[in-house]
Amino acid sequence: MKIFSLKTFTSAFILLAIFTLSSCSDVKEEQIAELEFPVEIEILKNKERVRQIEYFGIISSKILNYSFLTPGRVKSIFVSKNQFVKKGTKLMQLETKGFSLALSAAMKQEKQAESVYLEAEKHYQNLHKVFKLGGMSGTDIEKEKLDRDLKYEDWEQSKINSDAKNEDFKQATLIAQTNGIVSDILPKVGELIDAGAETIIIHGNGLFAETALSQKDLEIVEKGTKVIVEIKNKKVKGEVNYIATLPDFQTFRHTVKIDFSNDSSIKASIGLTTKIYFETDTLQGIWIPIKYISNNGQDFVNLSENNRLRKKVVQIIDFSGEEVRVTGLKENDKLITKGAASIKEGYKVKIVK
């Protein structure tokens, strides 16, 4: 019979204890790893959303540049800088003597042309009676008719000329088209100015948002495009009402102006920066709230796959409000919306909502 020494027995006991403790530790870790962590999910579906293009802009006041349609010499200026004017207020007037003389001459010419035509019409009617009685050839009556028609055209042309001179006379006085504050007065009394030259600049009461659009985005943004304007974290609806035809030659961007709804709760002021979201076409795809996207060097979301947490890399391709359209996900994926903050990838999850 082989006899074990005390030393041998002690060593065997220690090894057995170590093995037993090690096995218990593995079991405990396995039990912890297999705990089910409660999560809430959203089952993803294809959605249709209006795509938004985001820009930074600035709040500006409406500016009206007044100019004369015809050249002339400034006779009177009725307003001063920083003066508040109401719609219909006289602003500036050109010397009207030349306009008055031209109008009088045009009206006199119109009257003469009218008299000549009426005489030709009377003469034609008399000859037409003779023609019906056989006292005049068809060729002769046609000549008389042509002569009458030419005199009628002369009369019509004189009326057009008279109306134009009358319009010139009216345009010799600039009238405020809206309420506002006179920002600048460029010419002085007695100065000769060209047609179309700026004379008075008025800042209107209304405000608008202004930004510069890239040539690429100009292909999908047009006058009338709906816009969301974000001012001091509040959003109001707006609409594109002006797009510059020519770009800025330094930035190659086009100036765009947006009218937005007046909201008394928003204290907008000239020079305030704002976010502008142009609402363009509608797109279908996987849209998710941007708050569910995390980043560890890459954008990713947490999914529940076979009741385990999986991190899925995604790429943002479009924006619409608080949602983004992404690639990397598909319909019926289970997006974890709550409970994933303290769970590692591969841990078991239990869907509770």
Question: Is 158 within the bounds of a domain?
Answer: yes
Query: Which has the minimum average pLDDT: 114-118, 134-138, 189-193?
Result: 134-138
8 A C-beta contact, residue 58 and residue 211: yes
Q: Give dist(CA 97, CA 103) in Å, integer.
A: 10
Listed in sequence order, the residues at least 6 apart from 142 whose beta carbon sits closer than 8 Å to its beta carbon are none
Whether residue 182 is found in the same domain as residue 88: yes
Percent of the chain with pLDDT over 90: 57
**How far is it, in rounded angstroms, from Cα 70 to Cα 169?**
10
pLDDT category of residue 34 using cuts at 50, 70 and 90:
confident
Strand partners for 2: none
What is the DSSP secondary structure assignment for residue 248, as one 8-state letter? P
Contact between residue 51 and residue 319 where contact means Cβ atoms under 8 Å apart: yes
pTM to 2 decimal places: 0.50
Instruction: Look at residue 149 and tell me whether its pLDDT is greater than 90.
Output: yes
Average pLDDT over residues 115-127: 93
154 shares its domain with 197:
no
* pLDDT tens per residue across span 151-178: 999 999 999 988 887 777 777 889 998 8
Answer yes or no: do 79 and 177 share one domain.
Answer: yes
Joined tokens for residue 249: 């030659």
Supply the range of the domain harboring residue 140. Answer: 97-170
Domain contains 156: yes
pLDDT at 19 over 60: no
128 shares its domain with 147? yes
- Residue that finishes a domain, picked among 149, 181, 204: 204
Residues 182 and 84 in one domain: yes
123: in domain = yes
What pLDDT sits at residue 3? 45
| 155 and 110 together in one domain | yes
Among the listed ranges 70-84, 196-210, 278-292, which one has the minimum average pLDDT value? Answer: 196-210
pLDDT of res. 162: 87
Mean pLDDT of 208-218: 93
Which pLDDT score, from 0 to 100, does residue 99 have? 72
Domain end, chosen from 204, 227, 260, is at: 204
pLDDT band at 89; cut points 50, 70, 90? very high
Residue 82 maps to a domain? yes
CATH number at residue 185: 2.40.50.100
Dig out the tokens for 210 from the structure. Answer: 């202004």
143/197 same-domain check: no
Give how many domains the chain has, as a whole number.
2
Q: Higher confidence at residue 33 or residue 170?
A: 170
Look at residue 163 and tell me if it is in a domain.
yes
Co-location of 162 and 139 in the same domain: yes
Domain stop point among 146, 181, 204: 204
Looking at residue 9, its pLDDT comes to 47
